[in-house]
């Protein structure tokens, strides 16, 4: 009998609590309060019951039905998320619009990456006002200090503190349930709000602010996308078990407890903290702050993983990526992304000052990301899983109606701060499109100047061949790249063994080491090697090429010189259709990409760069 199986089955849902449910788990800090503000006026029975009904059925429809029952079954070899779906569709060549949809979804997730830490930490720290109003002036400074510390420790990785996340979130959800249950016992009639008729009646009686109400209700499901995005780290079954066994019951108990407390005449300015007795306020603020930090950590880690996928799939330029643990492929650190999100998060806290104000900007980015994943899901169901249209339509119509309704509701936030994530997302999409378009233009331009293998060999037979090996990194899988032609023309000398090396990202998360190399001997010491990586892998050429001998290729790679082309972009007349301003932005991005020796994990002393001018 396998004695480790029970422990493993227990550990996986515990990890899911620490990684997946931090964002949605901290929503009770502000979601019900903001929904009350959206309705306006004194909160009566019909208002409270209506809001609780809308919250209940939003959690059921969005999380339980859309993500747990439908979306999480659409995986790419176990991986989920916007780029996993996009990679899956890449093999079917569905059209450029699919790439655009994926980029929009990714951009919205980046925007959410700055908003979630800001609103979560602010919402938690604001609890000190319930301890004593004298501490109110310290809410923003304390939040800024916590956030700076959070981003500063990312360099050390999350392995050491990751084991701490799960137990803390268990305590958090148990606390949510306990606080809510106490208030429900005092007013059990609030359970009538489980009926969806209360929610429908509330919206019907407040048509002028119905969209505003739904925009606030949406705050209770922000973080739902994490179930799909983090599926590859944990697995569908542990995430599902944690949701039904603890997270959903705890959330509903707390929301209903807040409603019962309000109907009993409780404080509406700080509903969540007013559920607790005075003696528990200090530990509750500490626990809420820890939960907010965990929620923020999950978002930041998700942004790092999203960046790696975007780079591998050609949507972003190379950036420095550091593996912070040898035990988990998901434990990485991307300095550029970390500091950019930190600056954006701190600016949001300094500008909006309260979680009330920030909630006006929060939600629209998440709603946009949810719509894009639904669109890609519909395409995947048809192209990859070969579902018939009559089966796809009702499924996509159901989740599309939910997503579209929430996105429309969140548009009401645009004048009050919702324009910020839309603007940030639009800029990110523009940069992704320019990078993708420029990269394709460079590939075409270099292809025009490539030589045929036979022509190259004919011109090099009289050239001196020195002992040793040279590896030329190239984008092309055919012909002789301009970098090698330029090197031959400059030096009039070539190594005895020449390897044309091309890295290809496959539409799968991982490629096994034994399947990673395709080695072809062309002629006269000339080899072509194609290295295949998955979109979740960090390309490590130094390690990978050591296996070249086993694949039938040259074996002296450790002593080889690796030549990398450094393209210098200029405005030309290539007819590729890029305006001069786009070429300028692309050239700037290209100049600031990570050095090949850093990104591809090769010793710097083995790398030589050769400048290649490319006119676009």
In this predicted structure, what is the pLDDT of residue 295? 86
CB 99 within 8 A of CB 86: yes
Q: Which of 18-32, 166-180, 289-303, 413-427 has the highest mean pLDDT?
A: 166-180
Residue 159: pLDDT band with limits 50, 70, 90 = low
Helices (H) and strands (E) counted in the chain, each on its own, are 27, 8
User: Percentage of residues in the chain with pLDDT exceeding 90?
Assistant: 35
More confident residue, 487 or 192: 192
CB 469 within 8 A of CB 554: yes
CB 94 within 8 A of CB 379: yes
Q: Which residues pair with 565 in a beta bridge?
A: 610
In this predicted structure, what is the pLDDT of residue 431? 95
In this predicted structure, what is the pLDDT of residue 244? 94
pLDDT digits (tens, 9 = 90+) for 531-577: 999 988 888 887 777 777 666 677 666 778 888 888 788 776 555 56
Residue 4: pLDDT band with limits 50, 70, 90 = very low
Q: Which of 36-45, 446-455, 576-585 has the highest mean pLDDT?
A: 36-45
Nearest to 310 by CA among 602, 501, 590, 536: 536
Q: Which residues pair with 466 in a beta bridge?
A: 495
Residue that has been written with the tokens 């309705």 in this structure: 39
Pairing of strands 607-615, 561-570: parallel
Across the range 122-144, mean pLDDT stands at: 86
In this predicted structure, what is the pLDDT of residue 577? 67
Residue 302: pLDDT band with limits 50, 70, 90 = confident
Across the range 53-82, mean pLDDT stands at: 91
First to last CA, the chain: 65
What is the second-level CATH architecture of the domain 11-417?
Up-down Bundle (1.20)
pLDDT digits (tens, 9 = 90+) for 462-500: 888 888 888 888 888 888 888 888 888 888 888 888 889
Q: In this model, does residue 135 exceed pLDDT 90?
A: no
Beta strands in 40-128 (DSSP E): none
Q: In this model, does residue 409 exceed pLDDT 60?
A: yes
Domain ranges (residues) in the chain? 11-417, 443-615
Residue 261: pLDDT band with limits 50, 70, 90 = very high
The percent of the chain in helix, strand and coil, each rounded to the nearest 5, is 65, 10, 20
Q: In this model, does residue 1 exceed pLDDT 60?
A: no
Average pLDDT, the chain: 86
């Amino acid at each position: 009998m396998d004695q480790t199986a029970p422990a493993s089955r227990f550990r996986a849902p515990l990890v899911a609590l620490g990684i997946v449910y931090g964002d949605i788990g901290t929503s009770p800090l502000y979601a019900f309060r903001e929904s009350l503000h959206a309705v306006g006026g004194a909160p009566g029975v019909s208002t409270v019951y209506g809001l609780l009904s809308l919250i209940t059925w939003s959690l059921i429809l969005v999380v339980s039905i859309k993500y747990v029952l439908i979306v999480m079954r659409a995986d790419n070899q176990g991986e989920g998320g916007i780029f996993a779906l996009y990679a899956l569709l890449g093999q079917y060549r569905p059209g450029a619009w699919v790439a655009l949809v994926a980029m929009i979804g990714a951009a919205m997730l980046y925007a959410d990456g700055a908003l979630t830490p800001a609103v979560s930490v602010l919402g938690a720290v604001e609890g000190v006002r319930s301890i004593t109003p004298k501490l109110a002036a310290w809410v923003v400074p304390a939040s800024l200090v916590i956030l700076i510390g959070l981003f500063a420790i990312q360099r050390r990785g999350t392995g050491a503190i990751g084991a701490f996340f799960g137990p803390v979130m268990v305590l958090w959800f148990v606390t949510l349930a306990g606080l809510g249950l106490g208030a429900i016992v005092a007013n059990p009639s609030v359970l009538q709000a489980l009926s969806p008729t209360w929610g429908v009646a509330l919206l019907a009686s407040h048509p002028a602010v119905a969209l505003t109400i739904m925009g606030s209700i949406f705050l209770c499901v922000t973080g739902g996308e994490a179930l799909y995005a983090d599926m590859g780290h944990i697995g569908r079954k542990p995430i599902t078990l944690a949701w039904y066994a603890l997270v959903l019951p705890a959330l509903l108990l707390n929301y209903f407890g807040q409603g019962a407390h309000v109907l009993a005449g409780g404080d509406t300015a700080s509903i969540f903290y007013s559920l607790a007795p005075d003696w528990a306020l200090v530990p509750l603020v500490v626990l809420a702050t820890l939960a907010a930090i965990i929620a923020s950590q999950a978002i930041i880690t998700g942004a790092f993983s999203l960046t790696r996928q975007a780079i591998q799939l050609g949507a972003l330029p190379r950036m420095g990526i550091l593996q912070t643990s040898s035990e988990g492929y998901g434990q990485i650190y991307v300095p550029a992304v970390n500091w950019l999100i930190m600056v954006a998060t701190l600016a949001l806290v300094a500008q909006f000052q309260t979680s009330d104000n920030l909630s006006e900007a929060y939600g629209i980015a998440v709603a946009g990301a949810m719509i894009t994943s639904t669109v890609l899901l519909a395409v995947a169901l048809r192209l990859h899983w070969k579902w018939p249209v009559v089966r796809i339509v009702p499924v996509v119509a159901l989740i599309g109606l939910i997503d579209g309704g929430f996105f429309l509701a969140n548009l009401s936030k645009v004048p009050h701060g919702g324009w910020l994530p839309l603007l940030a997302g639009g800029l990110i999409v523009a940069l992704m499109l320019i990078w993708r378009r420029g990269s394709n233009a460079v590939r075409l331009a270099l292809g025009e100047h490539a030589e045929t293998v036979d022509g190259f060999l004919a011109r090099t037979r009289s050239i001196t061949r020195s002992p040793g090996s040279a590896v030329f990194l190239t984008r092309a899988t055919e012909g002789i790249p301009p970098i090698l032609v330029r090197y031959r023309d400059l030096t009039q000398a070539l190594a005895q063994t020449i390897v044309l090396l091309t890295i290809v990202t496959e539409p799968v998360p991982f490629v096994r080491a034994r399947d990673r190399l395709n080695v072809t001997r062309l002629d006269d010491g000339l080899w072509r090697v194609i290295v295949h990586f998955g979109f979740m892998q960090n390309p490590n050429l130094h390690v990978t090429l050591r296996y070249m001998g086993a694949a039938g290729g040259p074996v002296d790679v450790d002593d080889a010189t690796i030549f990398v082309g450094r393209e210098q972009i200029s405005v030309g007349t290539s007819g590729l259709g890029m305006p001069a301003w786009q070429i300028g932005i692309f050239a700037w991005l290209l100049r600031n990409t990570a050095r090949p020796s850093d990104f591809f994990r090769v010793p710097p002393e083995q790398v030589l760069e050769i400048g290649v001018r490319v006119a676009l």
